[in-house]
């Protein structure tokens, strides 16, 4: 079963626009929600992460919004740039668990 | 610091052949992981090692074996490769199993089985 559902599968945004990627989870035992960024031919890299006791976390142009009651979280990329073109994965983990559950990924293309 | 290194970068196998994918980390991390990445499927966990001396199955372990050789090294073995194992394989590490959200990935091995 897919425990973390991610949408959309692909996204095209104009330079300077806002990119929004959404994820939903089922397991209420998850207690950490990271986002990973992957460029072509490279391994994924941790971008930003949030705990469920925080509703929003911002790092530069990247913001995670978290809705615990809806079991949803999203990544917003403000002022999107061509260099942001990559695949983004949401994920979830629990301290009691020993692994990370990934969404299926969103391929973002920022056109100049 | 090299981080997480993987060898080889590319490999082509014939059905039935065996091979071992090597992974090493120099960050003194306790936990290590093997994933496969297929188009539209995201990253799926094959096996993980929460600490030296332990290994556990992930979501898709069939057809694979692993060895945690020491704290630094975690290898993945395909005993009899099948075309369904054509994929990109990533090794990752995290400081502890309790910090699984913070994983550091290697550059990947692109494997084709014909």
Answer yes or no: do A103 and B42 touch at CB < 8 A. yes
CB atoms within 10 A of CB B2: 9
For residue A96, name the pLDDT band (cuts at 50, 70, 90): low
Per residue in A46-63, pLDDT tens?
Answer: 999 998 889 999 999 999
Does pLDDT of B108 surpass 90? Answer: yes
Please tell me if residue B39 touches chain A, with a CB cutoff of 8 Å: no
Which tokens is B34 given?
């093997």
Nearest to A93 among B41, B43, B101 (CB): B101
Does pLDDT of A94 surpass 90? Answer: no
Percent of chain A surpassing pLDDT 70:
95
Q: E strands within A19-85?
A: 19-25, 33-38, 45-50, 56-59, 62-67, 72-77
Cα angle B45, A38, A82; round to 5:
160
Answer yes or no: do A98 and B50 touch at CB < 8 A. yes
CB atoms within 10 A of CB B15: 11
Answer yes or no: do A44 and B4 touch at CB < 8 A. no
Per residue in A57-86, pLDDT tens?
Answer: 999 999 999 999 999 999 999 999 999 999
Helices in chain A by DSSP H: which ranges? none
- By C-alpha distance, the chain A residue nearest B110 is A41
Site of tokens 């990973």: A36
* Confidence at residue A10, expressed as pLDDT on a 0 to 100 scale: 96
């Amino acid at each position: 079963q897919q425990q973390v559902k991610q949408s959309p599968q692909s996204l095209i945004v104009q330079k300077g626009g806002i990119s929004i990627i959404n994820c939903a989870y089922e397991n209420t035992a998850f207690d950490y929600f990271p986002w990973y960024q992957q460029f072509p031919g490279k391994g994924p890299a941790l971008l930003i992460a949030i705990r469920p006791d925080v509703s929003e976390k911002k790092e530069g142009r990247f913001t995670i919004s978290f809705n615990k009651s809806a079991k949803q979280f999203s990544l917003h990329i403000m002022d999107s740039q061509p260099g942001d073109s990559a695949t983004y994965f949401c994920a979830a983990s629990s301290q009691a668990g020993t692994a990370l559950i990934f969404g299926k990924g969103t391929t973002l293309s920022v056109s100049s | 610091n090299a981080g997480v290194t993987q060898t080889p970068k590319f490999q082509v196998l014939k059905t039935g052949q065996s091979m071992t994918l090597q992974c090493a980390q120099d960050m003194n991390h306790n936990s290590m992981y093997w994933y496969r990445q297929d188009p539209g499927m995201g990253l799926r966990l094959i096996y993980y090692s929460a600490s030296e001396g332990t290994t556990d199955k992930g979501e898709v372990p069939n057809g694979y074996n692993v060895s945690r050789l020491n704290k630094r090294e975690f290898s993945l073995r395909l005993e009899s490769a099948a075309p369904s194992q054509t994929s990109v394989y990533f090794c990752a590490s995290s400081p502890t199993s309790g910090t699984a959200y913070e994983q550091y990935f290697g550059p990947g091995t692109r494997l084709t089985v014909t």
